[in-house]
Amino acid sequence: MISIIVPCFNVEKYIERCFDSIKNQTYRNFEIVFINDGSTDATLSILKEIINNYPNLNIVVYSQDNQGVSVARNTGLELANGEYVTFIDADDFVFPDFLQVLNDNKDGVGLSVVGITGDGFNIKKTSFEGIIPKDKFVYEFWLTQHLWGSVANKIYSMQIIQDHNLSFDPELKIMEDMYFNMNYCQHIDKIYVSNQQLYYYPKNAESTMHNSNFSNKMTIIATFHKLLNLPLSKSDHEIIELHQVNSLIWVLNNLYKNKELEDFDQFKETISKEFKKSNRLLFLKKGWKKGSVRYLTFLVYQISPTLYENLMLLYCKFK
């Protein structure tokens, strides 16, 4: 059986669409574990109605105080009864063959993956399909669009999760799913990737990546600290270091777009210290791979943080 864990926080506008996509799966041996994470809207009422209207489906609804998506997913893992588990965000939806394709390709590998589509980010359709060996995991996760860092388009072995006491880190609000994947992949040797795009990710301005809570964005610094402490090869370590600098530029740009923040100076100082400790030489050599705009931003900040600040303030003034 596959356990589908769906964290829910104030998703009254989306949850029925998400549920409809799950109940219409061609693969039928599944349970749905809804975690109501302290919703203050009609989410819980809708979930109760779903249980009443579909008594033939294996559905669990569990309510807890609001503690964030990581704790919600961890609660789901504790309640799940399946041999395998997948995660679906309540504001997303899946196509009818989502579970079937994941299940068909899970044997003999530690992770089965399908493609993502949607209007939430720039997705290039890939024709890649097949096995990815362990020595290519980090490269494929970070430098291609074959795997994605999300946990939403994958099926995991509950045995591996339980044997190695794997869970989501509640302190991380950004890229917590990538950190989970990197930990999980320490214990497997192969990943199977299907090129079928069966998970739909709509753009949601209320998501963590898009919301205005800048403290959440700052946790990306801690995420990279943890990622760089994983037992990685030198080449894999450099891939993470490259993305660390890229993420520092991203969070710095976001900071200046929120110049009115009360803790602006403190955030700026923290980012500056992290930037100085990061592998800037590596980014100078290879950072262009992350795009010309991000690379030029890095160069300006590297040459003169004051010049960068003046340009950002000018940009924010006239945008």
Mean pLDDT of the chain: 93
Bridge partner list, 112: 155, 192
Encode burial over 71-90: b for 16+ CB neighbours within 10 A, e otherwise: bbbbbbbeebebebbbbbbb
- Average pLDDT over every residue of 111-127: 77
CATH 3.90.550.10 location in the chain: 2-200
Does residue 168 or residue 262 have the better pLDDT?
A: 168
Please state which of the ranges 44-53, 123-132, 169-178 shows the lowest mean pLDDT: 123-132
Residue 254, pLDDT above cutoff 50: yes
The answer to whether 82 and 31 have CB atoms below 8 angstroms apart is yes
Residue 200, pLDDT above cutoff 70: yes
Residue 217, pLDDT above cutoff 80: yes
Model pLDDT, residue 172: 95
Model pLDDT, residue 319: 67
Residue 124 confidence class, pLDDT cut points 50, 70, 90: low
Q: Which residues contact 232 (CB under 8 A, 6 or more apart)?
A: 138, 240
Q: 297: which 2 tokens?
A: 């931003």
The answer to whether 188 and 109 have CB atoms below 8 angstroms apart is yes
Encode burial over 121-130: b for 16+ CB neighbours within 10 A, e otherwise: eeeeeeeeee
Model pLDDT, residue 118: 86
Alpha helices in the chain (DSSP H): 15-23, 43-53, 69-79, 98-104, 137-143, 158-163, 176-184, 214-218, 220-228, 234-256, 264-277, 280-286, 292-303, 305-318
Pick among 1.10.3860.10, 3.30.1480.10, 2.40.30.10, 3.90.550.10: CATH of 2-200: 3.90.550.10
- How many angstroms separate the CA atoms of 137 and 39, rounded? 36
Q: pTM surpassing 0.85?
A: yes
Model pLDDT, residue 313: 82
- Average pLDDT over every residue of 148-153: 94
- How many angstroms separate the CA atoms of 233 and 254, rounded? 31
Q: How many residues does the chain have?
A: 319
Question: Tens of pLDDT along 54-63?
Answer: 999 999 999 9
Model pLDDT, residue 199: 96
Model pLDDT, residue 209: 44
HSE value, Cβ hemisphere, 13 Å, CA-based, for 14:
21
Q: If you compute the radius of gyration of the chain from its CA atoms, what whole number of angstroms results?
A: 20
Residue 16, pLDDT above cutoff 90: yes
Model pLDDT, residue 204: 65
Residue 208, pLDDT above cutoff 50: no
Residue 120 confidence class, pLDDT cut points 50, 70, 90: low
Model pLDDT, residue 295: 94
